[in-house]
Amino acid sequence: MNLNELRDRAYKTACEHGWHEEEYSNEHYLCLVISELMEALEADRKRMHAFRNPFEDFISRFTKDPEHAYKVAFDEYIKDTVEDELADAVIRLFDLAGLKEIDLENFDYEESDTFDYEGIPFTEAMFSITREITGGCTDDDVLEDKVHSVLNEIFSFCAAQEIDIEWHVGQKMRYNELRSFKHGNKKY
């Protein structure tokens, strides 16, 4: 996965959908990442997980209006699930990296020291990732390290849970590209 390409795509989509018409602080953007992690927690509490095979089957059968079929299938089989919300957290980090021109390819995510997420409760995993976001400074001069670190933690958690986060990010990015301006007039 080329993270800089995904960063650029996420940032471009956010700009096209009105999410950068106002200037916000780093804390604002990081808080939105936390909100996605908490939505993942709520999805886990409700046992809401994505159904990839029915999703792929549905979109493969409808070729007349593929965009409509994609939206319907996404809403039915993926939207608001643990995987979807974790993808949202990653996309928000990509967007922030695009805004701040952070290079995402200069960090070795696979070889870095990470928290061992195997066997711990979902709540504690989300707490650990959130602590990574809230710990320390959020100034521009350390933001790159924070973005790398948080992405690393989410990727590590997903690997431990056998979540194909790359696939889910790709699907959610496509879904976001099909959404209306400010996703129906959300404030931020």
Mean of the pLDDT values across residues 156-181?
Answer: 93
Whole-angstrom CA distances from 64 to 88, 175, 180, 185 are 29, 18, 21, 29
Structure tokens at 171: 């699907």
The CA distance from 59 to 135, in Å, is: 42
DSSP 67-85: HHHHHHHHHHHTTTSHHHH
Report the distance separating Cα 23 and Cα 16, nearest Å: 15
Given pLDDT bands bounded at 50, 70 and 90, which one contains residue 57? very high
Tens of pLDDT along 61-113? 887 888 999 999 999 999 999 999 999 999 999 999 999 999 998 877 666 66
User: How confident is the model over 27-49, as pLDDT tens digits?
Assistant: 999 999 999 999 999 999 999 99
Separation between Cα atoms, residue 27 and residue 16, nearest integer Å: 22
